[in-house]
Amino acid sequence: MDSDIRIDTKTVHQKPVDYPVHPISTPIFSSSTFVLEDADHGARLSSLQPAEGKSKYLYSRWGNPTTDVAADMINQLESGHRTFVAATGMAAISTSLFSLLKSGDHLVAATNIYGGTYEVVTKVLPQYGIEVTLVDGTKPEEFERAIRPTTRVIYAETPANPTMSISDLATIAELGRLNGIVTMVDSTFASPYNQNPIQFGFNMVLHSATKYLGGHSDIISGSITVDGEELEKKVFQTLKLFGGTMSPFDAFLLIRGIKTLAVRMERHNQNALAIAQFLESHPKVSRVYYPGLESHPQHELVKRQMRGFGGMIAFEVEGGMNAAKKLIENVKIITLAVSLGGVESLIEHAASMTHTMVPKEERERAGITDGLIRLSVGIESAEDLIQDLKQVLATI
């Protein structure tokens, strides 16, 4: 820099960064904007035209090299056409819904969904003139009956939070295809290791990447995978305008997390099956919901659409709410906290925590009783986790 340039100019300008190096780990490109080579370069990117031989980045709300690497990794795992990453799972869900629904349109959604999603579909969407019909996510015939000429989206979550109920991916996808309706599924509980809904014909797959994809309980993030160009355009438009874009710092942690997804999921699957079997055989446990148990009412369907059964278990103990509270407060290795999908085991009470916004009547119908406990099984030793549950169950 010229020596006659003043200090206040010198402090803000650095030598432009050139990247002849090839780091094995993706750097955090924490830059809101990107240098344009000339006016035409800026004009082309701003009007969504390719700029041959020049950088494709204009502004980080539209796209960023670090967040793009995370998105591409998830896209590979889901075998999608394109994946977008979002600031949170809820940003992914609301961006997806708002990119396809307008006033006068109709949405058919499963009742068995995460509490926050339930609030969006029952409270927020109707404020914008979008009509919603809720159906039992385990019954494809209810989705079919609810379809109207104005239905634009079918929304499901499988396995569903917290009762592990399953939606039939192939049948619901076919319903959407025959009626020209976009099918969208929240696949967070399965993770791409255990389930790939696009293979069954679903059009959009959503994740709270806060959970298994991130895997370490250190970020809030989301993803949207689409199966074709038309949906890609719609989602990109809404994401960049609503602005629920992921931060490059979070993308760095997400990339780091995804690298160990397979080994983590293998252990989550093994541990959860062992714990579900232990709980099922315990006299103080009245009910266990785990897709990998033969007693799961949809176990045959589960085997058709999931490669593994995941790390999430819900169960009821004898003694209802009081016994459930005692259990979640007295475990020693397992931690009392909401959220899921991290390496550490977490336990919570769904009716008063994650699903408190769902009306009691609706909760009861979905199986979310006051005595229901949800356990996110981590990657610790299964024997230690079983021992932990055993010692508390003996006291209730």
Rounded-to-integer distance, Cα 389 and Cα 393, Å: 6
Rounded-to-integer distance, Cα 201 and Cα 1, Å: 57
Sheet strands (E) in 199-251: 204-208, 222-226
Q: Which residue has the tokens 């990119």?
A: 99
Residue from 95, 112, 188, 369 in contact with ligand LCS (CB under 6 A)? 188
Number of residues engaging ligand LCS in binding (CB under 6 A): 19
- Name which of 44 and 95 has its Cβ closer to ligand LCS: 95
State CA 39 to chain mean position distance. 39
- Name which of 263 and 357 has its Cβ closer to ligand LCS: 357
Do the Cβ atoms of 269 and 194 come closer than 8 Å?
A: yes
Site pattern 55..94 for ligand LCS (x: CB under 6 A): ---------------------------------xxx----
Site pattern 302..341 for ligand LCS (x: CB under 6 A): ------------------------------------xxx-
Range 266-305, binding ligand LCS (CB under 6 A) = none
Range 353-392, binding ligand LCS (CB under 6 A) = 354
186 part of the active site = yes
Range 157-186, binding ligand LCS (CB under 6 A) = 157, 161, 186
- Name which of 219 and 331 has its Cβ closer to ligand LCS: 219
Range 209-228, binding ligand LCS (CB under 6 A) = 210, 220, 222
Do the Cβ atoms of 224 and 231 come closer than 8 Å?
A: no
- For residue 190, give the nearest of 227, 223, 170, 164 by alpha carbon: 164
18 part of the active site = no
3-state class of 313 per DSSP? strand
**What CA–CA distances, in Å, run from 5 to 14, 15, 17, 35, 280?**
13, 14, 20, 21, 75
Residues that bind ligand LCS (CB under 6 A): 88-90, 114, 116-117, 157, 161, 186, 188-189, 208, 210, 220, 222, 338-340, 354
Residues labelled as active-site residues: 61, 114, 186, 211
